[in-house]
């Protein structure tokens, strides 16, 4: 784990200063929110703060509405039923919510808005980047569990291509090579523990900055390994 923390800290130190230029994610039209831009880093931070402020004083019904904005409208995950999102809202209102791997790309978005000092987003890009960064540092690291995605570089579970679908980078291959594995339903807890440890090592960094660096650099980090094995 020490090697993993050291490697990730070096990655964060290198990439976080570039977020203002490198991070892009489109912001949908949201009632009551007027972003300074439509897709850049600072505009997305504005939206995170706006949604957090809304959440703090919201009723349960309003939190369910906000959760749809977070997961579906902003996050782009369209498949959740209304009752599923309501379950995630009920979970985050508990002191120690359950954090299974199933649904993690959705509920982690809600958790990151409701408790930004405790939780960060864990999705297909973040998961792949965590492993790719360690592979690029040539260490025997901690293998984070992948989640389905549709990015052809990071991993497309429909077209069966990309980093996470390449046999050399599977969980089985990495653990055979000496990496430590994580139980599926401990993934989110361990991920946030790793970020907390990194934050203690880094100066004046925020949890969301770490996650946003992983998200935005996922393609670049995965490409390095795909080229190394001749998969690109």
Q: Are residue 171 and residue 193 in the same domain, yes or no? A: yes
Q: Are residue 58 and residue 108 in the same domain, yes or no? A: yes
Per-residue confidence (pLDDT) for residue 230, from 0 to 100: 82
Question: CA-CA distance, 131 to 155, in Å (whole number)?
Answer: 13
Q: Are residue 163 and residue 75 in the same domain, yes or no? A: no
Quick check: 1 pLDDT over 80? no
Question: Which is more confident, 38 or 15?
Answer: 15
Quick check: 35 pLDDT over 90? no
Work out the widest C-alpha separation in the chain, in whole angstroms.
52
Question: CA-CA distance, 174 to 180, in Å (whole number)?
Answer: 8
Q: Are residue 10 and residue 90 in the same domain, yes or no? A: no
Q: 38 pLDDT band (50/70/90 cuts)? A: confident
Helix axes 41-56, 104-114, angle to 10 degrees: 70
> Which residue among 65, 83, 114 closes a domain?
114
Question: The whole model's pTM is what?
Answer: 0.96
Q: Are residue 89 and residue 167 in the same domain, yes or no? A: no
> Which residue among 95, 114, 133 closes a domain?
114
Q: Are residue 188 and residue 110 in the same domain, yes or no? A: no
Per-residue confidence (pLDDT) for residue 137, from 0 to 100: 97
Mean pLDDT across the chain: 96
Mean local confidence (pLDDT), 89-104 = 95
Mean local confidence (pLDDT), 91-96 = 92
What is the total count of domains within the chain? 2
Q: Are residue 129 and residue 207 in the same domain, yes or no? A: yes
Q: Are residue 223 and residue 135 in the same domain, yes or no? A: yes
Q: Are residue 10 and residue 32 in the same domain, yes or no? A: no
Q: Are residue 133 and residue 218 in the same domain, yes or no? A: yes
Q: For the chain, where are the alpha helices, taking DSSP H only? A: 2-15, 19-22, 41-56, 60-68, 82-92, 104-114, 124-136, 171-176, 187-201, 207-228
> Which residue among 114, 134, 161 closes a domain?
114
Per-residue confidence (pLDDT) for residue 232, from 0 to 100: 65
Quick check: 70 pLDDT over 70? yes
Q: Are residue 15 and residue 29 in the same domain, yes or no? A: no
C-alpha torsion 130→135→138→139, nearest 10: 50
- 167: containing domain: 2-19+122-228
| pLDDT per position as a tens digit, 161-190 | 999 999 999 999 999 999 999 999 999 999
Q: 128 pLDDT band (50/70/90 cuts)? A: very high
Q: Are residue 179 and residue 215 in the same domain, yes or no? A: yes
């Amino acid at each position: 784990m020490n090697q993993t923390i050291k490697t990730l800290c070096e990655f964060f130190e290198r990439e976080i200063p570039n977020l203002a230029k490198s991070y892009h994610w489109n912001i949908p039209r949201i009632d009551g929110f007027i972003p300074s831009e439509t897709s850049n880093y600072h505009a997305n931070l504005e939206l995170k703060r706006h949604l957090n402020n809304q959440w703090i004083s919201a009723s349960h019904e309003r939190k369910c509405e906000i959760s749809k904005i977070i997961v579906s409208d902003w996050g782009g995950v369209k498949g959740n039923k209304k009752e599923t999102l309501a379950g995630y809202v009920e979970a985050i209102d508990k002191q120690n919510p359950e954090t299974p791997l199933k649904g993690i790309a959705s509920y982690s978005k809600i958790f990151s808005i409701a408790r930004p000092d405790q939780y960060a987003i864990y999705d297909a890009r973040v998961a792949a980047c965590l492993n790719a960064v360690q592979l690029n540092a040539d260490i025997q690291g901690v293998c984070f569990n992948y989640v389905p995605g549709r990015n052809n570089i990071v991993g497309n579970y429909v077209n069966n291509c990309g980093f996470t679908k390449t046999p050399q980078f599977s969980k089985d291959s990495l653990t055979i090579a000496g990496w430590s594995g994580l139980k599926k339903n401990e993934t989110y807890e361990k991920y946030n523990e790793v970020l907390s440890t990194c934050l203690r090592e880094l100066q004046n960094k925020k949890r969301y900055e770490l996650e946003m660096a992983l998200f935005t650099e996922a393609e670049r980090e995965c490409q390095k390994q795909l080229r190394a094995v001749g998969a690109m």
